[in-house]
Structure 1
Amino acid sequence: MHLYRPVAALLFLLPAVPVSANLDVHPMRVHVEAGRTTSIRVHAQSPRTQYVRATVKRVVAPATEDEHEVDEPAGADAALVVTPAMFALAGGGSRLVRVIALAPVEQETAFRVYFEGVRGDDPEAMPAPAPTASATIGVSLVWGVLANLLPAAGEVSMHLEGDHLHNRGTLRLGIRRIEHCVGDACTTHDIDRSVYPGGALALPFQPGAGARLRVDYRLSRDGYREHQQILLP
């Protein structure tokens, strides 16, 4: 950690200047139903025309310690594509980008769609470095939008096994909180974790004999709407 202290000290000596990103992307999370499309809007925060490249990565073991990403095949072998994958963005303008589900999935699958500015003279090049001296420093950020591809017939199914909650369905469970009741005594545990199909959540308590659990959760297709399910150990 001590290697970074001189750099941090120099940063404090630099004059304070506004910092702005070249791009803005909305929304940062979308879902795509089988055979349908959704849209992401990319906004230019720079007065100059810039070129933007979109790439798709598949998320493996999402919302776990083993989460990582792999390249999604291009063309007909892809489950999810973005069009256009490369486009010019006029200064101060915006562009609507379509996210298209090409191949059906058996269970909800996570992808990330990355947007980055690239040099117009070489679309394959890395983003051009930001200027080092300016009244406003432009920062070339890479925006990653989480895109969840849904199966045609989604199913919610959760089961308790000891102190673990298992997702046996085909949809992601956005667990918000779990109320653990034994008799008339209830304790609410805020969780705020995603559990994808085939995954499990370690509970912060051990359900006792005769306990009752109320699970509050969200689904990708329903936005902020909450659902509830009662479980008995």
Structure 2
Amino acid sequence: MKASPHVQARLLDLLALDTRLTQLDHQARSLPELTDIARLEKQADDLDAEVVRTETALSDLQREVARADAAVQQVRDRAARDQTRLDAGTGTSKSLQGLQHELASLARRQAVLEDEELEVMERVEAAQAEAQGAARVRDGHGAQLAQLRTARDEKLAVVRAERETVASGRDAVVADLSDELVALYERIRAQRGTGAAALVQRRCGGCRLEMNAVERGRVAAAAEDEVLRCEECGRILVRTEESGL
């Protein structure tokens, strides 16, 4: 397996493209919106549950008002019938007196029921305000979440577009290398994160370790197109004008 200066230059191109792909993938995973979206999504269920709770409480009170109103109306209807009978003056004196007593009792009962209905209606107003407040909080939360998702999608679209361009350039570089060299590069890359490293000032760009004298001699004596690997990390070494040999 040979690595001419042209091939070594293409290896550096491949390394740069892979580094950029790694950066783009990290950028996509590290968008600040992702943290905020995850936090808001966790809150969403609680806010929905609060809306359901307040709306249920309001519905229960509204039914209570309806029952109270029906009770008041029932007393009113009974009082109206008694008043009609009393106004007609039909019946014995005792029965008419009984109607008068019942009307007084119904009036007291109606006053009590109306007070109770008023108290429930006041509770309904408070429950309506609470339900409306819960709905506003939930809707505001939903709007914020939608904005964050839009911002996330827009940023991801930019990252993905660049990634496609970089990946396309990588494919072109890979096509310019031998299958054997690419296979070696990919195998090392899977193990080390990068498959090749530039040799600069006698240091491997992958592990950052400086070569010892024996290793420098071996590399310096190697043929120009020989595929060299770092003795420490195993990456393919790409010699440059700054190798320092």
TM-score, normalization by structure 1: 0.17
